[in-house]
Chains A and B, each alone.
Chain A
Amino acid sequence: MKKFGLILNSRPAGKEAVLRVKQIVNGTSDNILTLDFEGVDVLTPSYADELFNGIKNLYPEKKIEMSGYKGNLVVEDVLKKLGIIK
């Protein structure tokens, strides 16, 4: 995810990221998508909401996993409070 920016903020940016993810993911037969937050500084709830729900709507059959968020209080808290991770 750090290739999308170090500060992941705003709904429009989250929507744009979903479109980019679609280009990256399309054609793959993998059933698991992993979003790696290693190196990301800040994730805001608006961005996370757009990104996660956008990807989920595009690929309802795929499992979406998160990694690289441990140690970053903001990223972890946002993912937890939005129910994306436990």
Chain B
Amino acid sequence: MELSCSSIYNHLLKIIRNNTIDLSECTFIHPWALILICLLLVKKHNNNDKEIILPKSSEALFYLRRARLHEILKKLSYNQSADFLEKIFVNEKDNLNIQEIIHCNFRDEFNARLERFGKIFMNFGLRENDARLVVALIGELGNNVYDHNLGNWPTDISGCFITAQNYPQKKCLEFVIGDPGIGFLGSLKANFPGLSDDISAIKHGLAGNTGRINEDRGNGLKFIQNWTLENFSGNILIHSGKGLVFLDKDKIEGKEAVEIVGTIVQIMLYYK
């Protein structure tokens, strides 16, 4: 079972069984799927019978270890699986194109990590100005997470999960940020009570509208779109609540997906 951006939605019913997340049949896990799994783990982490069953496939297991999923599992008290995964030996220098998952509970932690990203992206092969743009992109996405969820987190886990992967042959950098927050609809509804579904809310947010009443904001997502589409000929995928929206230079498409707590944003960038 391969968990890519699109196929994970076909497999979710097999993966989620009550409070168990069963990855035993997974042979491939895409960074998007990894962050989606993190949000599922957050949703279930307060249940006593929670469990994650790790993949049987050694390749998938090595990827999860390389991505340091065990650190997230420890934070969320999935201790048995965390211990098992941690004991697997991987040489992290074998794949420098994977950026492990980082969970930043608070804004200060996020800002501190942000300083490292520029160097990591330059090591991936990006030019200095491109690396700066990507740092600004991630910074702005992170700002949205903390600005819109401050004091309003639906669960006891706050902050965002970030992972990134570089595809050197395609000269493509992908990063994914997920947060267990109130989502686009939860944020925008205060200012736009007529909004009733997640797809419309995502599109409304992308158009530069903000949920903060009487505050002149809303530029962040416009910058993110502009830089992604114009500077990197890239694309954006957003899942928030039950809405899934894909955006590139030619089109914006929305469809319904399984409901998640919070939001996941994936940005694909093609660099020179």
Contact = CB atoms under 8 A, between A and B. Distances in A.
Contacts, number: 69
Contact of A9 (B129, B143, B216, B227): B143
Contacts of B227: 77
Interface residues of B, number: 23
Interface in A31-86: 41-46, 49, 53, 72-74, 77-78, 81-82
The size class of the interface chain A forms with chain B is 20 to 34
B136 interface: yes
Contact of A42 (B135, B146, B219): B135
A73 B111 contact: no
B203 to A, nearest CB: 20
Contact of A10 (B107, B129, B135, B217): B107
A45 B129 CA distance: 16
B102 interface: no
Interface string B213-238: 00011011001001100000000000
Nearest to A48: B219
Give chain B's interface secondary structure class.
Answer: helix
B31 interface: no
Given A7-B114, A11-B143, A11-B147, A45 B132 contact: no
Interface in B106-140: 107, 111, 114-115, 118, 129, 132-133, 135-136, 139-140
Contacts of A77: 133, 227
Given A7-B114, A41-B118, A46-B140, A74 B220 contact: no
Contact of A74 (B129, B143, B146): B129
Interface of A: 6-7, 9-13, 41-46, 49, 53, 72-74, 77-78, 81-82
20 contacts: A6-B115, A7-B139, A9-B140, A10-B107, A10-B111, A11-B147, A13-B111, A42-B136, A44-B140, A45-B220, A45-B223, A46-B143, A46-B220, A49-B217, A49-B219, A53-B216, A72-B129, A74-B129, A77-B133, A78-B223
Instruction: Give me the 7 closest cross-chain CB pairs, A-B, nearest first.
Output: A73-B129, A9-B139, A74-B132, A44-B139, A45-B223, A46-B143, A42-B135
